[in-house]
Structure 1
Amino acid sequence: MLQEIKNRILNGGEITPDEAIDLALHANRPELYAAADEIRRKFCDRTLDSCSIINARSGHCPENCKWCAQSAHYNTHIETYDAIPEEEAMAMARLHESQGIKRLSLVTSGRSVRGDDLDYFCNLYRHMGRETHLKLCASMGLLKREELQKLKEAGVKRYHCNLETASSYFPELCTTHTSEQKKETIRMAQEVGLEICSGGIIGMGETMQQRVELAFELRELGVCSVPVNILSPIPGTPLEHTAPIGDEDILVTIAIFRLVLPHAFIRFAGGRARLSRATQKQALLAGLNGLLMGDMLTTLGSGVNDDKDLIAEAGYNPL
C-alpha cells in the first residue's frame, strides 16, 4: 500500500484521508520515513527554509488558548510588554541575518493588532526592509483585509496564522475564537497576495486521526509553509501536566504531513529542543525541509550553530 501511494504522489497524485490514517497507524516506520524523504527530495530542493521570530508584543492576551504562556487567563510569570523598541528589534534582525537565517517574523500577543500599533510595526518592517535582506513575515492574529494589505505594502511577504489543531478538536483547547475565524484570516491574507504559513502544535491530547485532519485542512487552504510545533507544557496553563508526546509519534506525524503536503515547507518549530540530536536529524530525513531557529516566544530554542551542523549532516545546502 505504501509503495503504491508513494508512487502516486511522486507522479502528481494525492493521498486520501483514509489512506493517511491507515499509514499513520499501521505502516512500517522506517519505510514510511524513507517514502516521505523521497517525496521531499522529488518536490523540494536541498535548500532548507530557515526562519526566526521576534516576540514583538508579549503577554496580556485576552484569548484562552490552553497551551499558551501569553494568555491573561493564566498565571505564567512571563515578561510582558506592549511593543518591542525599534532599536532592539533592528539589532535582533541584523543578528539573525548575520547568522544566515533567511526569514524573520514579528509575532505579537493578543487577538489582533490595530490602529497606531499596526502603523508602528509597519514602519518597523519598512526599516528592516531598507537595512536587511531578510524575507519578512508577520504573525499578528485575526486581522482584517485592510490591515493585511498594510502589512503587504510595508514589505511583509508571508503571513503566519496557525490553525493549531484540527477543527474537530480546537473547541477543547480554545473558546474565545474559532478555527473558522483563523481560516477567514488566512483566506483574506491570500487575497491580498501574501503567502501563508500555518501549522499547529502536536501533543495537546489530540489523536493521530485529528493530526491527519489538520494536514488535510492545511492542504485545502493551499498553505506553503507548515510549522510543526511540539507542546512545551507551560506551568500555570491548563496543559502544564500533559504527558510528552513520544518521538515515534512526532516522526510519523511529520512523515504523514509530507505525504499530504508534498510541495510545502514543513518546518520543525517550537518544542524540538527537548529532542535528541538523533531524533532531530531523523526528522530532517523524514519529510522536513524547514527549521524555526533561535529562541521561541517564551521558551528557549536550539542554538543556531548546532542547527547549522545538523542541517549539513542531513545533506542540505549550508545556510
Structure 2
Amino acid sequence: MTDILTTARTRVLDEGQGLDYDDLIKVLDLPDDRIPDLLALAHEVRVKWCGEEVEMEGIVSLKTGGCPEDCHFCSQSGLFESPVRSTKLDIAQLIEQARQTAKTGASEFCIVAAVKGPDEALMSQLEDAVQQIYANVDGIDVAVSVGILTPEQVARLKAVGVHRYNHNLETARSYFPEVVTTHTWEERRETMLMIKDAGIEVCCGGIIGMGETPEQRAEFAVQLAELDPHEVPLNFLDPRPGTPFGHMEVMDGKDALRAIGMFRLAMPATTLRFAGGRELTLGDMGVEQGLTGGINGIIVGNYLTTLGRPAEQDMDMMDRMRLPIKVLSRSV
C-alpha cells in the first residue's frame, strides 16, 4: 500500500491538486511519530503554491454581543448567559483601530459585527467606514464579516471596495445542526457563493474541536475546498463560559497539528490562517510548528471575545523564525 504522504507529495506538492476525502481521512489517521513528516510536507506545499510570506491581519468588532443566533460556541449570542454584552464602535474608532493594525505590519483589517445579517443602518455605517478607512489609512485592505447577505448587499459592499468577505461555514454540513439551529449551513454557503460571483475574495473557514469526528473534519475540508476560498481562518474551540459548548475540553494539540496538515493538503494554494484558540490549544511551541507546517496567515492581537497575544510578540516570533511578512504586494 502506498504511504499517504508519498501520494500527497505527488498529487499535492508536485501537481497542486488537493487530496480527496478518503485520503484526508488517512492523513488524520497518521500516528504521532509521523506528525513531523506531515508538517514538513505541508510546509513544502504552502511555500511552493502560496509563497514564503505570512499574511498578518487585525480584526475589530463593530458590534459586539446581543446576537439573535444560537451558535453554541459563541459568547456573543444574546440567548446565552455569557459575560459578553452588546457594545458598538463609531467610525472614528474604526479608523484608529485600522491605523494601529497597519502599524503592526498587517495588510488586512476586518470589520466584524455580531448579527445574523446587516440591517440598513449597519450597511450604511459599513459603507461609510470602509470609505473612510481607505481615505485615511495607507497600506491596508478592508475586509468585512457581517453574516448572511442579500444580493443587493453584496453589490453595495463590492461598490465601496471591500477586498475580502468572511463568513465561516463553521463545521461540516453533517455536524452543523449540532452547532447552530437558528439558521442553516446552506444559507452560509449561499452567501459565499454570491461573494465569489461578485469578485470579492472569499474568506471562509470555521472551528475545529467542537465534538466533531475526524471524518467530519475531513468532510469539512472538502466542503471548504469546493468553494475555492482565498483564505480559510482555522479556529480551535476555546470553550466560553455560559455557552452550550462551555463544558467541552480543549482539543488535543497533536490532533490540532494533524488537522493543520490535513487542511493544507486539501487546499494547497489557499491562505490558511491561524485564528482564535491557537494559543490555548497549541501553546507557543505548537504555534511555531503550525507556521512551519502549512499555516501562512495569522490574526494578530485580540480576537472578538477572547484575548490573543500582543501583536509585538507575534512580530518577534516571525522575526526569530525568519518568516517574511506579506504587506499587500510586497514582503518585508
Q: TM-score, normalised by structure 1?
A: 0.97
Q: Is the 8 A contact 2:43 2:294 kept in 1?
A: yes
Q: Counterparts of 2:279 and 2:39 in 1: how far apart (Å)?
A: 21
Does residue 25 of structure 2 align to residue 21 of structure 1?
yes
Which of 120, 133, 151 matches 1:115? Answer: 120
What does the per-residue CA deviation read over 1:3-45, in whole Å, with 9 as the maximum and x for residues that have no partner? 1321221222332210110121125211111111111111111
Q: Structure 1 unaligned runs (5+)?
A: none
Q: Is the 8 A contact 1:284 1:314 kept in 2?
A: no
- Counterpart of 1:316 in structure 2 is 323
- Counterpart of 2:100 in structure 1 is 95
2:130 alignment partner, SS class: helix
Q: Is the 8 A contact 2:66 2:85 kept in 1?
A: no
**Aligned-pair CA distance for 1:80:** 1.1
- Give, as a single letter, the amino acid of the residue that structure 1 aligns with 2:154: L
- Counterpart of 1:291 in structure 2 is 298
Q: Given the superposition, is the C-alpha separation of residues 134 and 207 from structure 1 closer, same or farther in structure 2, using an over 3 Å criterion?
A: same
7-16 or 174-183, which deviates more: 7-16
- Give, as a single letter, the amino acid of the residue that structure 2 aligns with 1:16: D
Does residue 216 of structure 2 align to residue 210 of structure 1?
yes
How large is the Cα RMSD of the aligned pairs? 1.2
**Aligned-pair CA distance for 1:220:** 0.4
Which of 2, 6, 9 matches 2:9? Answer: 6
1:187-226 to 2 correspondences below 5 Å: 187-226=193-232
What does the per-residue CA deviation read over 1:114-173, in whole Å, with 9 as the maximum and x for residues that have no partner? 212211111011000111131110000001111011111112110000010000000011
1:1-319 to 2 correspondences below 5 Å: 1=3, 2-12=5-15, 13-26=17-30, 28-81=34-87, 83-132=88-137, 133-274=139-280, 275-318=282-325
What does the per-residue CA deviation read over 1:100-127, in whole Å, with 9 as the maximum and x for residues that have no partner? 1110011001101121221111101100
Q: TM-score, normalised by structure 2?
A: 0.93
- Give, as a single letter, the amino acid of the residue that structure 2 aligns with 1:108: A
- Give, as a single letter, the amino acid of the residue that structure 2 aligns with 1:297: L
Q: Is the 8 A contact 1:285 1:314 kept in 2?
A: no
Q: Counterparts of 2:156 and 2:7 in 1: how far apart (Å)?
A: 46
2:25 alignment partner, SS class: helix
| Equivalent residues, number | 318
1:36 alignment partner, SS class: helix
Q: Is the 8 A contact 1:145 1:192 kept in 2?
A: no
Q: State the identity as a percent.
A: 35
**Aligned-pair CA distance for 1:286:** 0.8
Q: Counterparts of 2:110 and 2:54 in 1: how far apart (Å)?
A: 17
**Aligned-pair CA distance for 1:58:** 1.2
What does the per-residue CA deviation read over 1:172-221, in whole Å, with 9 as the maximum and x for residues that have no partner? 11111111100100001111111110111111101111111111111101
1:68 alignment partner, SS class: coil
Q: Structure 2 unaligned runs (5+)?
A: 326-331
Q: Counterparts of 2:144 and 2:42 in 1: how far apart (Å)?
A: 29
Q: Counterparts of 2:27 and 2:305 in 1: how far apart (Å)?
A: 35
- Counterpart of 2:329 in structure 1 is none
1:26 alignment partner, SS class: coil
1:57 alignment partner, SS class: strand
Q: Counterparts of 1:117 and 1:252 in 2: how far apart (Å)?
A: 39
